[in-house]
Amino acid sequence: MEIRGVKVDHSTIQRWVFKFSPYVEASMKRVKNQVGDSWRMDETYIKVGGKDRYLYRAVDKQGNTVDFLLTKRRMKGSVQKFLNKAIGNNGKPRLINIDKSGSNTAAIKVVNRYSLSVNKIKIRRVKYLNNIVEQDHRTIKPLDINNDRIQRI
């Protein structure tokens, strides 16, 4: 805006964001690809600003990202929040494949308990079927090469 000679205050831009972001979000949801009903869910830690944060992610059978959530703590409440967000944005899955994480299992059981529909989410704990999301973590965690050895940051 400044390049074109228009002077705009930062509070005006903030009002524009509040006004137009729902429209942008709605248009993005229209063009978002549909995800499958079989999900792979996992969490990993990443460094954000020098501090460990937990990234919860889910991908479908084909490797399309279902949803993600970045939190400070790794606990059942965080998984529950992530699962509610993912189901709210993409619909309820038929099956979720997870690792042996107790918090993931507990969160899915809570969703099943409070679900109004007859169809419950099936939980499958086969670690080899979770390879899609595990391999996808490699692109998220940057590598630091120091003295001919590779370290995860």
Instruction: Please give the full DSSP string across 23-91, using - where no structure is assigned.
Output: HHHHHHHHHSPP--SEEEEEEEEEEETTEEEEEEEEEETTS-EEEEEEES--SHHHHHHHHHHHHHHH-
pLDDT for residue 45 is more than 70: yes
Q: Strands 143-146 and 149-152: what pairing?
A: antiparallel
How far apart CA 75 and CA 80 sit, in angstroms, is: 9
Secondary structure element (H or E) that encloses residue 115, with its range: none
Q: What is the pTM of this model?
A: 0.67
Q: What is the pLDDT of residue 145?
A: 35
Q: Which CATH number fits domain 38-152: 3.30.420.10, 3.30.420.40, 3.30.1490.20, 3.20.20.80?
A: 3.30.420.10
pLDDT for residue 62 is more than 90: no
Residue the block writes with tokens 């020098």: 50
Q: What is the pLDDT of residue 96?
A: 92
Per the rule left: phi > 0, alpha: psi between -120 and 50, beta: everything else, 49 is left
Q: What is the pLDDT of residue 135?
A: 67
Secondary structure element (H or E) that encloses residue 149, with its range: strand 149-152
Which structure tokens are listed for 95?
Answer: 């099956």
How confident is the model over 89-146, as pLDDT tens digits? 888 999 999 888 788 888 899 989 988 878 899 998 877 766 666 666 666 666 443 4
